[in-house]
A and B are shown apart, each in its own frame.
Chain A
Amino acid sequence: MKRSLLQWLIIAVGAVVMLGVPFALGNKPYWLHVAIVAYFYAILASSWALLAGYAGQFSFGHMAFMAVAAYTSGILGRDLGMTPVQSIIIGTLTSAVVGFVIGVLCLRLRSTYLALFTLAFSEILRLALNSELDLTGGPNGLTLELLVDTTSRVPYYYIMLGLLIVSLAFMYWLANSSFGLFFHAIREDEEAAAAMGVNIVRYKIMAFVVTSLIAGLAGAVEAHYIGFITPNILIIAQMSIVVAMAIIGGVESLLGAAIGAIFVQFMLELLREIPMPASIMPTLAQMEGTLEAFGLSVGEHGILTNAWRLVVFGFVLILTLRFYQNGLLYPIIDRLSRRPVLAETVAKRIQATEVES
């Protein structure tokens, strides 16, 4: 695959920015934390894009796979004294097994039924985690040993970045191999794919196993970074955010979904507080009552938007669904990654029409 100079430039700038973030944000641990969480969501969103956008399996059980790995890892560490690395590996494999089982159970389910089934599975798991106090700590949550024994966030930043790059590379390889071809064929028409010799049972299950493995790995590592996990990661709003991130980025593009997740995560954090010049802060403080009537409040350096940031998020989502079904960012990615094949085809078509006329 030939790339233009511009494409190499973008890749190089992207790499430098991503590797250099800790140096720029070294004294702002909060923003480093935001970046780590953004990468975590990027892994979830892109693996969900592989399952839903590539293979057409609109599952809402993605957070459940992630939670299975995180809880398994936490419980193994607490009860059997495993090191985080050991328990993360076993937790990840457990989520792959759960993905396999869900894949088998979903074989005959399509679209809405699949969505409802996986949603129900996720809810059942949440209720079980909430009520099994002895095993999971219930609503009080489960404390996990930290993956790296340090107060610095820099190691975690590189671990999560590495995880994102490795899982994206793996999924890209998969999407461009015959797996991706069969995933697409299954998404388009299962019966026709079967009539063309595609073992649809194997590849549908494979899609669930691979994506739950990746979601599980990300979830387990994230849980060992935060050091604490509650059943609330399974609420429907969490899953919806992952879906929305993938949709905003482009559900049929792995990179699009990942960038969409990073974009949304930073947007939500930046919108928390709209910075205001220090000179008008006293005036704002006097107006606090009026602002609160609109759901806003006054912070240290500006206006706190509270729930309004979610309104903005919802608005972006609506705009995307109405005008850019392929994702807000996908047209940009597509333009930058378009291959010269298209130009060749256009030339051929012009030739063909000239011969005809």
Chain B
Amino acid sequence: MIELDVRRVSMSFGGLQALNGVSFSILGNELIGLIGPNGAGKTTLTNVLDGVYKPTGGEVWLNGQRIDGLPPYEIARCGFGRTFQVTRAFRRMTVLKNMLVPAMALHPMARQRDFHDKAMEVLEFLTMEHLVNDYARSLSGGQQKLLELGRLLMLDPDIIILDEPFAGVHPRLMGKIYEYIRVVHEQGKAFIIISHDMDSIFTLSKRLLVLNFGELIADGDPNEVKQDPAVIEAYLGEEEEEEGPVVIPPGRLVAAGETEEESDA
């Protein structure tokens, strides 16, 4: 049983409080959406969970082991997998080698060819088995995204955090990523999906976390969270406000430090 316990986690960069006492827990293979306005602390939370940052306060427990403060590679071996907001495939390595990195990291004494079958299986699931010997840099952006998702499966984590998996993605590829999440979720993995794409979030997630100014302002069933006044004000309300088009006052488009008088002269 997957058990993640985030206890009053805080993270500050100098004077900036990026996370402020965030607490939540995951039990079993939950499918969680994480939303919030830009700068709310979503990516910071991801980085704290996977060890890129050591939190300035609070604790993170995964399956009965305290993981905050461990280096990223150990947290990855404990069962935490993530993708990055910007795709980060190993570009000058072949697709196969990309897939072998996490497998070999988990079993450094094994032989690489022992994992060829598993890698091919994952690639077939992603329908990119014909690209196995191609360099990652020669793949399209979407294929690189899929490769990153496939690489995660080789790590075989318990909890997967997807940071903006739908940003700039073609609808057909979106369907593929949906399928990936569904299938992998059924295999018993928990997901935390960060996205600004509300349709996807409400379609996929069974539970919604909302971050605003580093604080968790809502945690619950997506349909209930949707009605939460605090959430509407902080994030979802934008569409209903109907402010009309933004009017830029004349003269504002002139470059800074250059007044209209000067440009006329």
Contacts and interface: CB of A to CB of B under 8 A. Distances in A.
A344 B81 CA distance: 32
B76 A195 contact: yes
Interface string B18-52: 00000000000000000000000000000000111
A192 to B, nearest CB: 4
B3 to A, nearest CB: 20
A329 B133 CA distance: 23
A345 B101 contact: no
B54 interface: no
A194 B133 contact: no
Contacts of A181: 97, 100-101, 104, 112
A193 B50 CA distance: 13
Question: B71, B76, B84, B155: which has the most chain A beta carbons within 10 Å?
Answer: B76
Describe A's contact surface by its main secondary structure: helix
Interface in B117-153: 129-130, 132-134, 151
Contact of A197 (B77, B129, B132, B134): B77
Contacts of B84: 191-192, 195
Nearest to B106: A197
Given A345-B132, A348-B130, A196 B105 contact: yes
Question: A193, A349, A351: which has the most chain B beta carbons within 10 Å?
Answer: A193
A189 interface: yes
Contacts of A182: 101, 104-105
B91 A197 contact: no
Interface residues of B, number: 33
B178 interface: no
B112 A197 contact: no
Given A345-B130, A345-B133, A184 B90 contact: yes
A67 interface: no
A197 B90 contact: no
A286 interface: no
Contact of A178 (B51, B72, B104, B129): B104
B71 A188 contact: no
A171 B49 CA distance: 37
A214 B120 CA distance: 37
A285 interface: no
Contacts of A80: none
A174 to B, nearest CB: 13
Contacts of B106: 197
A352 interface: yes
Contact of A198 (B88, B105, B129): B105
Question: A178, A195, A199, A342: which has the most chain B beta carbons within 10 Å?
Answer: A195
B222 interface: no
Given A188-B90, A197-B106, A341 B133 contact: yes
A87 B180 CA distance: 60
B99 to A, nearest CB: 10
A191 B86 CA distance: 12
Contacts of B50: 195
B90 A185 contact: yes
A200 interface: yes
Nearest to A349: B130
B176 interface: no
Contact of B82 (A195, A198, A345): A195
Contacts of B51: 194
B133 A191 contact: no
Interface in A158-184: 178, 181-182, 184
Interface in B55-77: 71-73, 76-77
A197 B132 CA distance: 22
12 contacts: A178-B108, A181-B112, A182-B105, A184-B97, A188-B92, A191-B88, A196-B101, A196-B105, A197-B105, A344-B133, A345-B134, A352-B130
Given A178-B104, A178-B108, A192-B90, 4 more contacts: A181-B101, A188-B90, A193-B90, A197-B73
